[in-house]
Amino acid sequence: MPGPVVILENVDKIFGEGASDQVHALKEIDLRIEQNEFISLIGPSGCGKSTLLRVVGDLVQPTSGVAAINGKSARQARLDQDYGIVFQAATLYDWRTVAKNVQLPLELMQFSRSEKESRTQAMLELVELSDFAGHYPWQLSGGMQQRVAIARALSFEPSILLMDEPFGALDEMTRERLNLELLNIWRKTDTTVLFVTHSITEAVFLSTRVIVMSARPGRITADIAIDLPQPRNAETRSNVRFFELETTVREALRVSEAGEAPERKPA
């Protein structure tokens, strides 16, 4: 039995420490994520969700505390190419076509030529962009660009998927379809997902656990297990338990936002 995939212990992140405009983005974060969990982070804008994701991905160094991933340091996990990241903005390379953008990690990870091509094709089919393989990013809508970024992150089957509001720019229909596709991929592989969203419905539908955060300083205020049966599908949404859990998350969010006000005052 392998240990937790993600361990955060007492992690603090202060941007611009010591300066008059310092931001206490994360405070005393303790988080354990087991293999094959699907965790959603939810909380008000600016509460530190992206920062938490970036600490896990070794893109931001915590001011204090420990981040251990897959039993090693976050840095080592990054060097071992354990992460697939979807940023809040698509972050495509302008000079690469859609297909070439999806291929970027495959090139860097020395996949064989045939493997590169078959995976790129499969991923573009998944996000329904096969007809746009030869287009450049500027020829795509914002939502299409975001789908390319998702295809790119999934293409090499990373052991940990870090997704920062990946479906935020998409219409409801595409979003629901990609939710199901993401769950499919997650079920078929050993992937562990850390998923940031603003949608309570999406968080409850996708996750095995929902983590609720409060702002300034960013803290974990609730950790709600989502005990809906797997696999999730259209019926899940009409489950009574689904509505109960939505209410629980909404309530936890309200409490966390209400509790925010006194925190802001300087001590």
Partner 1 sequence: MSEPRQRFWAPAVILVVLVVLWESLVTAFNIQQFLLPKPSAIAGNLVRVAALDPSISGEGEDISLENRFFTVLPAELSPETQASLEEARWLAFNLGGRRFFVLPGSNLTPILAASWFTLKEALGGMAMGTVAGIAVAVATTRWTATREALLPFAIAANSMPIIAFAPIMNNWFGIDNPFSKMAIVTIMIFFPIMINTVRGLVSVDARSLELMRSYAASDSEILIKLRIPNALPSLFSGLKVAGALAMIGAIVGEYFGGPRIALGVFITQEAALFRFASAWAAILVACLLGIAIYLVILLAERLALPWHPTFRA
Ligand X SMILES: Nc1ncnc2c1ncn2[C@@H]1O[C@H](COP(=O)(O)OP(=O)(O)OP(=O)(O)O)[C@@H](O)[C@H]1O
State how far the Cα of 22 lies from the Cα of 16, in Å rounded to an integer: 5
Strands 64-69 vs 6-15: parallel, antiparallel or unpaired: antiparallel
Cβ atoms of 63 and 57 closer than 8 Å: no
Smallest separation (angstroms) from partner 1 to the CB of 77: 9
Smallest separation (angstroms) from partner 1 to the CB of 254: 32
Smallest separation (angstroms) from partner 1 to the CB of 261: 32
Nearer to partner 1, 150 or 200 (CB): 150
Nearer to ligand X, 49 or 116 (CB): 49
> Does 110 participate in binding partner 1 (rule CB under 8 A)?
no
End-to-end CA distance of the chain: 45
Cβ atoms of 195 and 207 closer than 8 Å: yes
Question: Where do contacts with ligand X occur on this chain (CB under 6 A)?
Answer: 15-16, 23, 25, 45-51, 88
Residue 24 binding: pick among Mg ion, ligand X, partner 1, none (C-beta 5-8 Å cut-off by kind): none
Radius of gyration of the chain (CA): 19
Smallest separation (angstroms) from Mg ion to the CB of 49: 5
Question: Where do contacts with Mg ion occur on this chain (CB under 5 A)?
Answer: 50
**Would you put residue 28 in left (φ > 0), alpha (ψ -120 to 50) or beta?**
left
The Cα-based distances of 170 to 57, 83, 166, 174 in angstroms read: 24, 23, 9, 6
β partners of residue 162: 85, 194
Structure tokens that stand for 264 in this block: 């802001």
* Main-chain dihedrals φ then ψ at residue 73, nearest 5 degrees: -70, 155
> Does 107 participate in binding partner 1 (rule CB under 8 A)?
yes
Residue 105 binding: pick among Mg ion, partner 1, ligand X, none (C-beta 5-8 Å cut-off by kind): partner 1
Binding mask 58-97 for partner 1 (x = CB under 8 A): xx------------------xxxx-xxx-x-x-x-xxxx-
β partners of residue 196: 41, 164
Nearer to ligand X, 87 or 205 (CB): 87
Smallest separation (angstroms) from ligand X to the CB of 225: 22
State how far the Cα of 228 lies from the Cα of 250, in Å rounded to an integer: 17
Q: Which of 57, 62, 217, 218 binds partner 1 (CB under 8 A)?
A: 57
Q: Which residues bind partner 1 (CB under 8 A)?
A: 54, 57-59, 78-81, 83-85, 87, 89, 91, 93-96, 104-105, 107-109, 136, 138
